[in-house]
Amino acid sequence: MKIAIVHLGNIADNLAATAVIKAIRDRDEEAHITCIVNRRVIPVYRYNKDVNKVMSFESFKRKSIKFDLLINLYPFFPREECLNISVKEAMGFGFNSECDQFSSLFFEGAESEDINMFQLYYKAAGIVWKGEGYQIGYFPKSKSHSNRVGVSVANANLRNYVLDKLELDNMKIWYVPYKKNVFKKMDEINRCKRIITDDMTVFHLSMSLRKYVYFLKTFPIGFKMELFNQGEIYEIPLNILR
């Protein structure tokens, strides 16, 4: 079976989507899975053995391809631009009516404490989420330091505020170096036992590495954040960011 999985969101959203891709692979080991993403997101799938091919949306919409199944994980997928793409069956956002009610969670800031991103993606794919997590496929080369807390917060006021508020058991503070490459970023995160961040990409990468995460919530997330019993969420007052 030829399956196309569409997600035109950012890197953080695609990191969470790796869980449902693994579930689809487990359901059909012989399937040929093609992921359709934004060009800048393509590197996220470099080590993902559950994916046979990754294409940018710009390339995808110019192709003439036939798929047995298309699963859309992105609420605003412009399918009208894909005139030459043929599919026998399509599901997900824009195709399953039960998914439409969740579209606003991504972009309109409507808070929901009832459903997390994994559940959203699994529902779009017609699968029940049972607590599975990320499947990025990369194993960091760095070693973890049990007494180190990594800080990945760009705003200096916010950094100072949380370091004063959090009780870190005399652990050493280490500022995580900025890395554009997602896997080098994982290497740096893996040097720590705990992570403090307000960045969604760092959050998902840290969760995938089973780090204990203090997530600083500075904006409406929409869906419920899944911590896998290894983190805390802190609501940050707006005046701290000024």
Ranges for all domains in the chain classified under CATH 3.40.50.2000: 2-124
Got the DSSP string for 61-91? Answer: TTS--EEEEEEE--TT--GGG-TT-EEEEEE
Between CA 72 and CA 96 the distance in angstroms is 10
The alpha carbon of residue 156 and the mean position of all alpha carbons in its chain are separated, in whole angstroms, by 26
Between CA 67 and CA 60 the distance in angstroms is 12
Q: Summarize the chain as % helix, strand, coil (round to 5).
A: 30, 25, 45
> Residue 235 phi/psi, 5° resolution?
-75, 125
Instruction: Count CB-CB contacts under 10 A for residue 175.
Output: 11
Between CA 190 and CA 99 the distance in angstroms is 35
CA angle 223, 240, 13 (to 5 degrees): 25
Between CA 114 and CA 110 the distance in angstroms is 12
Give the CATH number of domain 2-124: 3.40.50.2000
Give the CATH number of domain 145-241: 3.40.50
Sign of the torsion angle spanned by Cα atoms 100, 126, 130, 135: negative
Q: pTM for the full model?
A: 0.93
CA atoms within a 13 Å half-sphere pointing along the CA-CB vector of 170: 0
What is the model's pLDDT at position 111?
57
> Residue 146 phi/psi, 5° resolution?
-65, -20
What is the model's pLDDT at position 77?
93
Regions in the chain scoring below 70 on pLDDT: 101, 103-113
SS3 label, residue 238: helix
Determine which helix (DSSP H) or strand (DSSP E) holds 185, and give its type and residue range: helix 182-189
Between CA 31 and CA 167 the distance in angstroms is 48
> Residue 99 phi/psi, 5° resolution?
-85, -20
Tokens representing 93 are 């956002």
